[in-house]
A and B are shown apart, each in its own frame.
Chain A
Amino acid sequence: MSAHAAAATRLVYNDPGWIDTVAAWLLALLWILPLVYAVWTAFHPTEFSTRFVLFAPLTLDNFSRAWAAAPFARYFLNTTLLVTMILACQLVLSTLAAYAFARYEFFGKKLLFALVLVQLMVMPDILLVENYKTMARLGLVDTLLAIGLPYFASAFAIFLLRQTFMGIPKELVEAARVEGASAMQVLWRVYVPLARPVYTAFALVSVSFHWNNFLWPLIITNSVSARPLTVGLQVFSSTDQGIDWSIITAATLMSSAPLLVAFLLFQRQFVQSFMRAGIK
C-alpha cells in the first residue's frame, strides 16, 4: 500500500467527524446515566436522593442499612454457590458431549445433535410450569439444586466446544495415541488445554447469565435459604422498603457490584469472551 493510499484511507474513513464524536458521547452518557444516578443516590443521605448539589455529603450509611435490613450475606452465598455449581456441571457435561460429537462416529449422531440444538431455541425459561411440576415430584422445590438443574446441560456450551474440538488437528491426537494415551487422556491432555480460551469465554458468559437470572429462581424458591441475590433484591425492594430509594439503590448496587467490578477490571476479557461466544 502506498503512502498516498494510507493517507487517503485515514482521511476518508478513520477519523470520525466531530458530529460522530459528539453523538457517540451523548449516547454513551445516556447509557450510563441510570448507573450514575444510582451511584449518586446510594452514596448520599436520603434528603439528597433527588437533589443534585455538588458538595452534598457522602455517606456509606445506605449500604449498612440495606445490609442490615435483609439477609444479603445469605443471598450472596446462595448466588455464589449456584453460579459455581452450574458452571462446574456445564463444563463437565458439555466437554464430554462435545467430545463425542467431534471425534466419534455412531448411529444417530445427526439426530442427537439436532436434539441438542433444540435447547438453543427452547430455553428452560419458557418451560416453567412443567419444570416446576418435575421439581415438585423430585421434592426439590425451594433448593439451590432446583434452580440449577435445568441449566446443567447447556446446548450452547456443547455447540461451542464441538466447533472448537473439530478445529483441533488430528495429527496432535494421533501423536498422543501413538504414545499410548487412552481416549479420555487425549481429551484431558490435548483437547481441553487447547480449548482453554473458549472455556474462559463460556465461563464468563455463563456466570453473568446465571448471576442475573431471575424468573425461574423467583418461581422455584420461597425462602431465604435458597433465594439468590436477584430474587432477594426484588423481595426486598418491593415489600420491605416502601419507597426509600437510597436504601434500594444501595442494595441494587451491592448486588450488581461483583459483576460490575469484575467487568471494569477485566473489560477486555469480557468483551472478547462475549465476541468469541457469539461467532459461530
Chain B
Amino acid sequence: MQARQAAHAYLLLLPAFVLLVAFTHYPAVASLIDSFYSTPKGARPAVWVGLDNYQQMVGDPVFWKAATNNLWFALATIPCSIGLALVMALWVNERIAGRGFLRMAYFTPTVLPMVAVANIWLFFYTPGYGLLEQITGWFGLPSQNWLGDQRTALGAVTVVAVWKEAGFFMIFYLAALQSLNPSLREAAAIEGASRWYFFRRVQWPLLMPTTLFVMVNAVINAVRMVDHIVVLTRGGPDNASTLLLFHLYEVGFRYWDTGYAAALTMVLLAVLATVALVQFFVLDRKVHYQ
C-alpha cells in the first residue's frame, strides 16, 4: 500500500520534473562544466582549459564595467522602487481623493511589456525634441543626450526600471496593509500617536515579512532585467550602461563564445545562490515577529 502510494506520487511528479531537470538543473550543472572548457570552433571540439575562462573574465574590462554598473543599478533600483512602493501603498490604503485612479496609474507600468514601454522612454529621452528635452527647454536648461552620454546613460535606464517596478511592489505592500488588524490603528489613535510614530513603531515592523519578500524579488530583478537595455542603449555608449546579463547575452549570442558565456553564467548563478542563502539562513530568522 505504502509502496503503491509512493509510486503514484512519483508518477504525478514525473512530467514536471523531466522539464525542471532539463531546463533548470541540467543547464546549471552544464554551465559549470562548460566553464572549464574552451569554445568549440568549427571542427575543433571543446578542450579542457581549467580556469582559463575565469582568467579571461578577470582580465575583461567589460565584465568589470558590467559588474560595477550592475551593482550601482541594484543599489539604486532596490531602495528606490521599494521606498516608492511603500509610499504608494500607504497612500492608496487610505481614503485619499481619486484612490481608484491613483492605484490604476501606479500599477499600469507592471502590465505593459518592458520592450514596448522602453520604446516610449526612448522617445522621451530623444535629444532635440523628446519630451524631457522640451521640459528642460522651458526652464532654459542646456540640451542633454541622456542615453548617449556616458555620465547619464546608466541613470536613465535605472529610472525606467524603478518606474516599471514600483507599482508591482506596491501591490504586495497594499495586500499586507489591508491584512493588518484595524484595532491597532484605533489603539494608536486613542493613545494619540502621530502618524509617523504609528508607521515607524507599528506598520513598518509588521510589514517586515513583506519587505523581505519584495527585497528578494527586487534583487532577482536587478540581475534579470535587461529588456530595456536592449531597446534603450544596447549597453552603450562605450559600455556605460551594460549589465551582467546583457554582457552574457552579447558574449553568448553575438560573439558565440559559449565557454566564456558559461563562466559568466556561473557568476550570475553565484549571485542568485547567495541571495537564496542569505534569505533562508539570515533574514527568515530575523523577521518573524509573533
User: Could you tell me which A residues sit within 8 Å of B by CB distance?
Assistant: 1, 5, 8-9, 11-16, 20-21, 24-25, 27-29, 31-35, 37-38, 41, 50, 92-94, 96-97, 99-101, 104-107, 109, 112, 115-116, 118-119, 121-134, 149-150, 152-153, 155, 158, 183, 208, 211-212, 214-215, 218-219, 229-231, 233-234, 237-238, 243, 245, 248-249, 252-253, 255-256, 259-260, 263-264, 267, 270-271, 274-276, 278-280
> CB-defined interface of B255-266 with A at 8 Å, one 1/0 digit per residue?
000100110010
How many A-B residue pairs lie within 8 Å, measured between CB atoms? 293
Contact between chains at B230 and A234 (CB < 8 Å): yes
Contact between chains at A21 and B13 (CB < 8 Å): no
| Known A-B contacts A128-B249, A134-B27, A234-B115; A27 and B88 likewise in contact (beta carbons under 8 Å) | yes
On chain B, the residues within 8 Å of A127 by CB distance are: 23-24, 27-28, 31, 265
Q: Which 8 A-B pairs have the closest CB atoms?
A: A130-B27, A104-B9, A28-B105, A153-B19, A275-B175, A212-B113, A106-B6, A100-B12
On chain A, the residues within 8 Å of B31 by CB distance are: 127, 129-130
Write 13 A-B pairs (CB below 8 A) sorted by A numbering.
A5-B186, A13-B185, A31-B108, A32-B108, A97-B15, A112-B17, A119-B24, A121-B275, A124-B23, A124-B24, A153-B16, A263-B111, A279-B176
| Known A-B contacts A14-B94, A50-B134, A214-B114; A183 and B8 likewise in contact (beta carbons under 8 Å) | yes
On chain B, the residues within 8 Å of A31 by CB distance are: 105-106, 108-109, 163, 167
Contact between chains at A97 and B190 (CB < 8 Å): no
Contact between chains at B265 and A130 (CB < 8 Å): yes
Contact between chains at B120 and A219 (CB < 8 Å): no
Query: Can you name the residue of chain A whose Cβ is closest to the Cβ of B276?
Result: A121
In whole angstroms, how far apart are the Cα atoms of A115 and B88 in the complex?
Answer: 36
Query: Closest CB-CB distance, A98 to chain B, in whole Å?
Result: 9
Q: In chain B, residues 1-31, which have Cβ atoms closer than 8 Å to a Cβ of chain A? A: 2, 5-6, 8-10, 12-13, 15-20, 22-28, 30-31
Q: From B52-60, B70-78, B123-131, give the one contacting chain A.
A: B123-131
In whole angstroms, how far apart are the Cα atoms of A131 and B26 in the complex?
Answer: 9
In whole angstroms, how far apart are the Cα atoms of A139 and B5 in the complex?
Answer: 37
The interface size bin for chain B is: 35 or more
Query: Closest CB-CB distance, B228 to chain A, in whole Å?
Result: 9
On chain B, the residues within 8 Å of A93 by CB distance are: 15-16, 19
On chain B, the residues within 8 Å of A101 by CB distance are: 13
DSSP class of B's interface residues: helix, strand, loop or mixed?
helix
Query: Closest CB-CB distance, B81 to chain A, in whole Å?
Result: 12
The yes or no answer to B149 lying at the interface (CB within 8 A) is no
| Known A-B contacts A16-B91, A215-B249, A260-B108; A24 and B102 likewise in contact (beta carbons under 8 Å) | yes
The yes or no answer to B285 lying at the interface (CB within 8 A) is no
Query: Can you name the residue of chain A whose Cβ is closest to the Cβ of B112?
Result: A256
Query: Can you name the residue of chain A whose Cβ is closest to the Cβ of B259?
Result: A129
In whole angstroms, how far apart are the Cα atoms of A127 and B265 in the complex?
Answer: 7
Contact between chains at B16 and A96 (CB < 8 Å): yes
Query: Can you name the residue of chain B whose Cβ is closest to the Cβ of A219?
Result: B253
| Known A-B contacts A100-B9, A215-B249, A263-B108; A255 and B113 likewise in contact (beta carbons under 8 Å) | yes
Q: From B61-69, B139-147, B150-158, B218-226, give the one contacting chain A.
A: B218-226
- Residue in contact with A123 in the complex, picked from B19, B119, B224, CB distance below 8 Å: B224
The yes or no answer to B215 lying at the interface (CB within 8 A) is no
- Residue in contact with A130 in the complex, picked from B12, B26, B102, B105, CB distance below 8 Å: B26
On chain A, the residues within 8 Å of B111 by CB distance are: 208, 256, 259-260, 263, 270
